[in-house]
């Protein structure tokens, strides 16, 4: 089984891979449903307030509500993805925790709208959940202690909503997992110690000389003159530029939804040092196989997505646009979904069969009947043996 076969069995491939068209359609339908629900909720709230008053029909309509567009939703979610990265950095979480938190937010808002659940409410919960799924668990009190004006309930209340939006799939395959493998291979080639795979005629020395003859990464830069010049080039490309692309552009765009982790990694490598990346790919896919031309078309498409990434440090114009969107959101949020802590507490009461702290009589009877039914059934070891 190849690595590609293994990836195709993952939930990321099965549930979270899209084309540009299906992704746009999904977001448009999510926005349309949320807008309709927001208007219905606002109408109900206004009708409740107008009850008992001499209110005209206009008082209880919601035709004046200006809802967010798909583009505005995406800008707002993207901003809070950046904030999640900043918060993870502040909490000193590793890269994989921050990256997973961002993907949780992006996945959640494919089927949910900021008009229903504000990203500011979901962001701490996404980051806290990622500490658990990425085996970097931090206790809730310790996590909350780092967040100003945030309680444990604020973090926990949206968690079930978040997991529902994620379809209870928590695995995120990140492209940086393969980065060190490429790095070690190239270092071995540069030092003449690389072991060629079976069937390859390339000797370690010939690979080293081919690397020295490569064109420089940037126009005007000097070519390598000796093997000692190769290591700084590899270090700069992979541990510098590629790593930076993977923890910024790859996370803030739709790359994870549209391409495989390996495609994202190789695209970042191509952006950082095209001659070196092409040399590496030529060793993996001979020209006679027909793979390089198809692969390069896919990688170019991925590069186009990566280069469209918003800045991790929005400028003044972007910030003003975000403020405008946030003000607009203030007037078109679903009033019935604002208090997530209160909703969570109410659901817990209902789940326990309580109303204002008192057990509901129907729930008590139901539980009693369930216990009686269990007692009538044979136990787990079967009926007693007759003598």
Asked if 310 contacts 318 with a C-beta cutoff of 8 angstroms, the reply is yes
Overall pTM > 0.95 = no
What's the token pair of residue 327?
Answer: 């003000």
- Give me the helix-helix angle, 179-190 and 261-272, nearest 10°: 50
Distance CA 77, CA 83 (A): 10
Q: Residue 321 — very low, low, confident or very high, per pLDDT cuts 50/70/90?
A: very high
**What would the pLDDT profile of 275-303 be if each residue is shown by its tens digit?**
999 999 988 887 776 677 889 999 999 99
Residue 177 has pLDDT above 80, yes or no: yes
Report percent pLDDT > 90 for the chain: 66
**Distance, CA of 220 to CA of 216 (rounded, Å):** 8
Helix (H) or strand (E) holding 358: strand 358-359
In the three-class reduction of DSSP (H, G, I as helix; E, B as strand; rest coil), residue 335 is classed as: coil
- Mean pLDDT score of the chain: 87
Question: For residue 357, what pLDDT is reported?
Answer: 46
pLDDT score at 225: 87
For 299, 350, 354, 359, 364, the CA distances from 367, given in Å and listed in that order, are 59, 14, 13, 11, 5
Q: For residue 4, give Cα distances in angstroms to 1, 7, 9, 10, 13.
A: 8, 5, 9, 10, 10
Q: For 360-366, what is the mean pLDDT? A: 58
What's the token pair of residue 287?
A: 């020209």
Count of CB atoms within 10 A of residue 252's CB? 21
Say yes or no to pLDDT of 356 above 80.
Answer: no
DSSP 355: E
Q: Are 86 and 77 in contact (CB under 8 A)?
A: no
Closest CA to 335 of 104, 17, 61, 45: 45
What are 374-386's pLDDT values in tens digits? 555 545 444 455 4
């Amino acid at each position: 089984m190849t690595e590609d076969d293994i990836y195709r069995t993952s939930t990321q491939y099965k549930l979270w891979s899209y084309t540009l068209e299906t992704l746009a359609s999904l977001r448009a339908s999510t926005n349309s449903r949320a807008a309709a629900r927001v208007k219905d909720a606002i109408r109900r709230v206004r009708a409740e307030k107008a009850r008992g008053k001499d209110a005209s029909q206009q008082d209880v309509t919601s035709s004046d509500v200006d809802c967010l567009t798909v583009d505005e939703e995406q800008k707002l979610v993207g901003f809070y993805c950046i904030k999640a990265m900043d918060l993870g950095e502040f909490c000193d979480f590793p890269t994989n925790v921050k990256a997973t938190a961002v993907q949780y937010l992006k996945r959640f808002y494919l089927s949910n709208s900021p008009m229903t659940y504000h990203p500011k409410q979901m962001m701490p919960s996404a980051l806290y959940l990622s500490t658990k799924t990425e085996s970097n668990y931090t206790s809730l009190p310790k996590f909350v202690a780092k967040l100003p004006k945030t309680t444990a309930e604020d973090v926990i209340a949206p968690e079930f909503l978040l997991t529902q939006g994620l379809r209870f799939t928590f695995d995120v395959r990140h492209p940086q997992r393969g980065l060190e493998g490429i790095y070690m291979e190239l270092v071995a080639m540069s030092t003449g110690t690389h072991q060629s795979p079976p069937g390859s005629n390339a000797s370690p020395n010939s690979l080293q000389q081919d690397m020295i003859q490569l064109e420089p990464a940037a126009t005007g830069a000097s070519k390598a003159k000796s093997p000692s010049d190769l290591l700084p080039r590899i270090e700069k490309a992979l541990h510098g530029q590629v790593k930076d692309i993977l923890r910024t552009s790859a996370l803030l765009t739709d790359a994870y939804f549209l391409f495989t982790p390996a495609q994202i990694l190789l695209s970042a490598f191509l952006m950082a040092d095209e001659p070196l990346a092409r040399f590496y790919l030529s060793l993996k896919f001979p020209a006679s196989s027909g793979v390089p031309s198809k692969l390069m078309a896919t990688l170019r498409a991925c590069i186009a997505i990566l280069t469209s990434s918003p800045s991790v440090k929005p400028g003044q114009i972007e910030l003003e646009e975000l403020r405008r969107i946030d003000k607009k959101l203030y007037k078109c949020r679903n009033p019935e979904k604002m208090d997530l802590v209160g909703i969570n507490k109410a659901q817990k009461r209902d789940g326990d069969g309580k109303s204002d702290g008192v057990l509901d009589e129907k729930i008590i009877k139901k539980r009693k009947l369930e216990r009686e039914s269990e007692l009538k059934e044979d136990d787990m070891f079967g009926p007693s043996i007759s003598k």
